[in-house]
């Protein structure tokens, strides 16, 4: 694998993190001021970018496990952080805009049954909001060091984040892409799981032979 490939991956990673920082820094205020001027389709595009990013995050790891002998795919695992942060940053940007809105009652609404109801698929949307925030806050070396072995367990919330977001987009926004993304990720995860289970069985058997 040549150096240019690694440099491209590193540059893409830095770009994704840079875009995420700009979004979080300026996005909530921009939405608060100019949000009403944005067409609904623009919001849909941002949600689709977020879903596509987390779908890549969820696909890269099982792909790397399935094609473990392809170094180019293994190298892409590095990008999981960048795409994951970008996805969560978009969702958290919308979340922060709701929180800083004048006379906002968003925080208080979290404790109400309506917030967790299935009316208009609110449950899936809010699960995505909360898990996205948790994943974004813990996507750094400091959190990894503080949480220790719990860090990986917290990061498994990515499954909740992905499926909640995909279900919301599929049901509320009638997104075909969300349905396809869920199917692809589910198939890849299952294939990778079966492959690992098969290897655990075959390796001890070969060693005993």
Quick: pLDDT tens for 20-67: 999 999 999 999 999 888 887 888 899 999 999 999 999 999 999 999
* Residue bearing tokens 């809010």: 126
What's the confidence (pLDDT) of residue 3? 82
Mean pLDDT for 14-21 is: 97
Does 6 have pLDDT greater than 90?
A: no
- Determine the pLDDT at residue 208: 53
Q: What is the pTM of this model?
A: 0.91
Does 108 score more than 90 pLDDT?
yes
Query: Is a pLDDT exceeding 80 seen at residue 201?
Result: no
Other C-beta atoms closer than 10 Å to the C-beta of 145 total: 9
Q: What number is the average pLDDT over the span 204-209?
A: 53
Question: How would residue 204 be classed by pLDDT, with cut points 50, 70 and 90?
Answer: low
The region of weakest confidence among 71-75, 136-140, 146-150, 198-202 is: 198-202
CA distances from 141 to 9, 22, 57, 158 (A): 20, 20, 18, 17
- In angstroms, the Cα distances linking 116 to 50, 128, 129 are 22, 12, 12
Q: Is the pLDDT of residue 205 over 60?
A: no
Q: CA-based angle 35:39:43, to the nearest 5?
A: 70
Position 139 scores a pLDDT of 92
Percentage of residues of the chain with pLDDT beyond 90: 78
What's the pLDDT at 75? 87
pLDDT value at residue 198? 86
pLDDT of residue 203: 57
Q: Give mean pLDDT, residues 155-171.
A: 96
pLDDT exceeds cutoff 60 at 82: yes
Concatenate the DSSP letters of all residues of the chain into one string. Answer: --HHHHHHHHHHHHHHHHHHHHHHHHHHHHHHHHGGGS-HHHHHHHHHHHHHHHHHHHHHHHHHHHTTT-HHHHHGGGHHHHHHHHHHHHHHHHHHHHHHSTT--HHHHTTSGGGGS-GGGHHHHHHHHHHHHHHHHT-SHHHHHHHTTHHHHHHTHHHHHHHHHHHHHHHHS--HHHHHHHHHHHHHHHHHHHHHHHHHHHHHHHHH-
State the Cα–Cα distance between residues 180 and 127, nearest whole angstrom. 20
- Window from 126-135, 177-186, 199-208 with minimum mean pLDDT: 199-208
Average pLDDT, rounded, for the chain: 92
- pLDDT category at 96 given cuts 50, 70, 90 is very high
């Amino acid at each position: 694998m040549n150096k240019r490939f690694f440099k491209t991956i590193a540059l893409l990673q830095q770009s994704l993190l840079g875009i995420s920082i700009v979004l979080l820094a300026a996005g909530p205020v921009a939405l608060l001021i100019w949000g009403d001027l944005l067409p609904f389709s623009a919001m849909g595009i941002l949600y689709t970018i977020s879903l596509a990013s987390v779908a890549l995050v969820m696909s890269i790891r099982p792909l790397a496990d399935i094609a473990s002998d392809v170094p180019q795919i293994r190298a892409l695992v590095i990008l999981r952080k960048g795409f994951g942060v970008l996805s969560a940053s978009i969702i958290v940007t919308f979340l922060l805009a709701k929180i800083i809105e004048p006379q906002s009652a968003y925080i208080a609404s979290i404790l109400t049954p309506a917030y967790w109801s299935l009316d208009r698929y609110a449950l899936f949307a809010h699960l995505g909001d909360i898990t996205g925030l948790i994943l974004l806050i813990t996507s750094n070396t400091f959190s990894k060091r503080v949480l220790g072995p719990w860090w990986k367990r917290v990061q498994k919330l990515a499954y909740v984040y992905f499926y909640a977001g995909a279900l919301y987009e599929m049901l509320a926004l009638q997104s075909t892409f969300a349905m396809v993304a869920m199917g692809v990720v589910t198939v890849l995860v299952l294939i990778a799981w079966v492959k690992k289970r098969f290897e655990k069985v075959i390796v001890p058997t070969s060693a005993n032979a």
